[in-house]
Structure 1
């Protein structure tokens, strides 16, 4: 089997778990180049993980050896990079979110579809063992028909996190806690409970942070299935707590808190599973294992090789971003 060849665009905070994952998958994939804006950071990253530095993004796109690009740059840069990659017939693995607005997000998905290249967004939490087990319970019908699905994400980020230029702004990030942190849990919620028909939402910036976008959001949902739903998300809950996803079905209830899954069935059975890995819910955003990134990368590479749909698609990311847009649109905060 020929190794897939991938280039990395961006060497910032999000790059570390991907680099660790790629090195573990070195029997399947070769990193042929890394590009980034900061020469110092790029050299440090490349030396740490043993990757070669490419001269430019254009050089990566012109390199016939490159099958795919891994885009790890800030959200407001995504569309243009995706457009260039698609035009060069390179498959794209894109850090979330798709981009900072729905028109730009939709355009990113459309250009990849027209070019016939794969677009996968980094929703690595789908590959966490406890989430996979929850998905099996929901999709097998073990819980029965879903009557309620909710997310409760009470994380903590210190002010220093938002002091980085552009972080928590609409121009660079497209929003706050919903688009940057809660998007992962919302993806799982919609993956398991389906599309949402009605939304009543509210957002705020609490006194704990000085930032442009929201650090608190809540919403009451009704799913197209008729199930009720609720979302609460914040980065102002010191010192940070594992996120909670709850599914109530006609046969039982499943509660996932971080990596701890408990399912309680009407017949008296209790199913319990624990994955000790963290999700970066406290002051250290990257305090989590890279194994879910590894499994997402593996699925991406095999989807390319086998010409099949990956587990996470650009359309999946669009669905979640539309929900976030519907929540924030009701507040009148976003310019």
Structure 2
């Protein structure tokens, strides 16, 4: 029976608690830590947990705990995760992994040095449509991918950035590109691989109480010549989100949509019904997932601890996602094309460098200690 602690009892902690409670024969939550003890107690009361309330997470470092979920604001992820890894605990950390590539490297070094698992939450991979789309792409049935489109469309009201840690480069680490599109960017990289270069633009068009962007557009180039575009937003009504991959033979996407074309003698398209049928049968024949979302990822981590198998989403994967996001921020801030990798001597490698060099759209003027728990995770 694995003993689990939750660090941070904000809205996203509910997804972790719900997931752990799905596996009562494999793990038990023994502590919830939060700087606001009443928030931690409220979580315990809501779920009727037999768990301790701890205000200072460092009190847990010497306790008999196997695994912790870090659900705190992004700027705290690195020090908390490193402390627990050095104390011999496995760590699941919420998105984004950290506020800088330097912090990611320090977290991965701590995991490697201590022989412990570091997994970064990317729960969208653990959804059947995403898993199936990945399998279709890997099958090659759609042909080599020549263009990809990521629409990470969200909408958040002006007051969203009134919360004390949101809307600043220091504490949130960025805006919608880092904290909302991160899941789509993770899934995109998982399916498409890492690009060679990026050119990006960003703006703040609707939230003058935040330093960070609420809209960004990035254009990516791959060594094969393939191109991709990523739009990250918290200003899109309807929040319609999609990942679209155009192969040489067919177009596939999440939400699932399939179109395959052949060429007429004059070069114009006509439907390739046979290929569409083949891809559809392949897609429909793939298994459903036993657990989805946070439950799927936590099941994967528990299994890795129990069996020694690797996790699907580790700290190296989390770092890759952040490297692309940092590249977007660098390009949008400097107006220059960014060629990967981003090296340690780059000003955007450190949190301090990002704070000093990223565009500050507005200064944060309103700061609330807490919102009521409206069960909206991000």
Q: Which residue of 1 aligns with 2:258?
A: 263
The alignment partner of 2:181 has SS state of: helix
State the TM-score, normalizing by the size of structure 1.
0.89
Q: Which residue of 1 aligns with 2:240?
A: 242
Q: Which residue of 2 aligns with 1:301?
A: 302
Counterparts of 1:315 and 1:215 in 2: how far apart (Å)? 27
Q: Which residue of 2 aligns with 1:26?
A: 24
Aligned length: 313
Gaps of 5+ in 2: 262-271, 285-290, 334-356, 360-378
Counterparts of 1:110 and 1:71 in 2: how far apart (Å)? 18
CA RMSD of aligned residues (A): 1.8
Gaps of 5+ in 1: 275-289
Q: Which residue of 1 aligns with 2:200?
A: 201
Measured against aligned partners, the alpha-carbon deviations of 1:147-179 in whole angstroms (never above 9, x if no partner) come to: 112201221001121111121211111000011
Contact 1:194 1:225 in 2 (8 A): no
Contact 2:167 2:209 in 1 (8 A): no
Counterparts of 1:291 and 1:34 in 2: how far apart (Å)? 24
Contact 1:148 1:248 in 2 (8 A): yes
Counterparts of 1:78 and 1:27 in 2: how far apart (Å)? 29
Contact 1:209 1:236 in 2 (8 A): no
Counterparts of 2:124 and 2:170 in 1: how far apart (Å)? 26
Q: Which residue of 1 aligns with 2:116?
A: 117
Shift of 1:54: 4.2
Which of 348, 358, 369 is residue 334 of structure 1 equivalent to? 358
State the TM-score, normalizing by the size of structure 2.
0.79
* Residues 47, 291 of structure 1: alpha-carbon distance in 2 compared, 3 angstrom cutoff: farther
Single out whichever of 48-57 and 157-166 deviates more from structure 2: 48-57
Counterparts of 2:32 and 2:187 in 1: how far apart (Å)? 31
Contact 1:54 1:60 in 2 (8 A): no
Counterparts of 1:172 and 1:307 in 2: how far apart (Å)? 35
1:48 is aligned to 2:46? yes
For the pair shown, the structure with the greater C-alpha radius of gyration is 2
Counterparts of 2:53 and 2:38 in 1: how far apart (Å)? 14
The alignment partner of 1:233 has SS state of: strand
Counterparts of 2:223 and 2:321 in 1: how far apart (Å)? 14
Shift of 1:303: 1.0
Measured against aligned partners, the alpha-carbon deviations of 1:69-120 in whole angstroms (never above 9, x if no partner) come to: 1110111111111111111110100001111122112211221112111100
